[in-house]
Amino acid sequence: MRIVTADLKHRRLRAEPQVFLAGKHVQDILQLPNGKLFVAERYKCEYYVIDVTEMQQTYMCKGHSWAIQCLAFPGFDFEEFPYILAKEDYCLTIIDAREGEWYKLKDNVFEGRPLNQKMLFLNQREFLTTCNLKDGTKG
């Protein structure tokens, strides 16, 4: 993963020499405030924060299966409310993007693998999912 600068006036791209997460399969990237990125690695289900200003990557935590999608909670603030909802192959996890702590919500919530599931926050505590749930409810 590299940072690329676009020079629109001269129609050129310039890649920074720094390579982040070399050899990793990046599944999802969230742009956070203050020049930070939250990155989900697919197959090892690892989560990282990359500080673009400092050009540093920090390992945050390991998830439970395969990383699929990440969403910042509404009101996300890296210092005061640093929570990310991570959809993994068979569970949902809340990750503290500042401390690297995680909170697994529930195993086997989904019926089948939720690879095509979409999620959208309605407010700070509720989100919408398009996945079939184990209770028989269809998304």
Percent of the chain with pLDDT over 90: 43
Q: What pLDDT score does 137 carry?
A: 55
CA distance linking residue 134 with residue 69, whole number of Å: 20
Contacts of 91 (CB under 8 A, 6+ apart): 64, 65, 104, 105, 106, 107, 108, 109
Contacts of 134 (CB under 8 A, 6+ apart): 108, 109, 110, 111
Q: Would you call 114 helix, strand, or coil by DSSP? A: coil
pTM value?
0.80
**Is the pLDDT assigned to residue 138 strictly greater than 70?**
no
For 41-96, write each residue's pLDDT tens digit.
Answer: 998 999 999 999 899 999 999 988 888 889 999 999 989 999 999 988 777 889 99
Q: What pLDDT score does 31 carry?
A: 92
Q: What pLDDT score does 73 carry?
A: 92
Neighbour count for residue 117 (Cβ, 10 Å): 16
- CATH for the stretch 4-129: 2.120.10.30
